[in-house]
Chain A
Amino acid sequence: MVTVNGQQEVNVAGKSVAQFLSDRQAPIENIVVEVNGNIVHHSEFDTTILKTTDKVELISFVGGGR
């Protein structure tokens, strides 16, 4: 199972990072994705496929105010 923020998750392996984030309804533009300690850049979301041994960390940001 793929590990996401320390939790093992089913139905993630085999998906692209883009599909994985879309399934979680995550706000893609506010998130930085790390897989096995390396940042997956936004331009690589479609082509990076998650494997069962992968450890994914989602670094997400919330807004301030103008």
Chain B
Amino acid sequence: MAVIINLVYAKAIGVTQGILARQAGGDMWIVSILSTLIGLCIMLLTVFIIKRYPNKNIFEQTRGLVGKWGEKILSLLLFIFFLGAFGGVMITLVYHLMDYFLPDAPTILFVIIAILAGIVGLFYGIEVIARVAILGTFSIIMLNILILFGSLSYFEIRHFFPVLKNGLWNGIEATKHPNGDWAMATLMVAILLPMVKEKQKWFAYTGKSIVFGGLLILLWPILQVGVLSPEVTGQYIVSCMQMARSAEIGLFIHRYELIMIIFFSLSALVQIMICLLCAVISVKHLTGVQNLNKLTIPVATILGAFGYWVVVDHIRAMDLLTYYWPRVAMPIAFGVPIIVFILGTVIKNKKDNVISG
């Protein structure tokens, strides 16, 4: 549960909300709810797919259903997805730290540190990453409580009206941005869920994590609309930092940027580690190399190089994230679970192959 919440939170509250404000205006909170519901559906579908053959991840199931080349195509698709997702994660991390705290530091430094942190995470394994995520969840709750207390006095309900100003269809269309965040969680589940024990609780765990994660994220668009106004939220690359910059409790606790970074950094760290882990597993199935350690450095280098290329230019980064990333992420995020589900349902005679692996 904690991994799913952390994996979505850091990017969803800041960079994604800024994009949403530009597209959906004051309806960004409704878009967040719609997207959470869509994420919940895709997550339950993904869990259903994996639960059919609970010892096999989505690559192994695909190999059993359509053969080796099917597995390779899928692993290439998922590698591309996590490569792109890593770009989004880098935008979130680097622009939080560099733009607000260390403007003089070279961009490459943030990327190298992020990659090193990711490699350390992989070295210790998924269990340690999950423990970090539990701490991350507590940090997220603390951050939400603090931002709530620091902003509530400036809250204005009139910013929310009229509801659905740009129409329901525009809201649904705008869900493509947060859907990309939830897709990281659903595709991670498709890869890592077989490692989780207590298979009978898979539905409950994943469902609850989407609901709790969605609620923790939902606080931000509500506050951003009510406190900053949609226009101000949409003005910034990292809108959550603007919230933090405007929050204050009394005379002495103001400017939450540092508080925010402290509490949100674990979530960002989990995002980096999981993206790297899932990318490495995807490459493992693509290349057939069995030893993950041999793949870690090359994959980390590719992700790092891509991440650097993305973040080194603010304008390109935001164009990629706003216009191009949804076109890549949406077909993979929706297409992969749906196609594997249909294949698993239709090609019944392949079941034996799947089970035998």
A binds B: no
B residues in contact (CB < 8 Å) with A: none
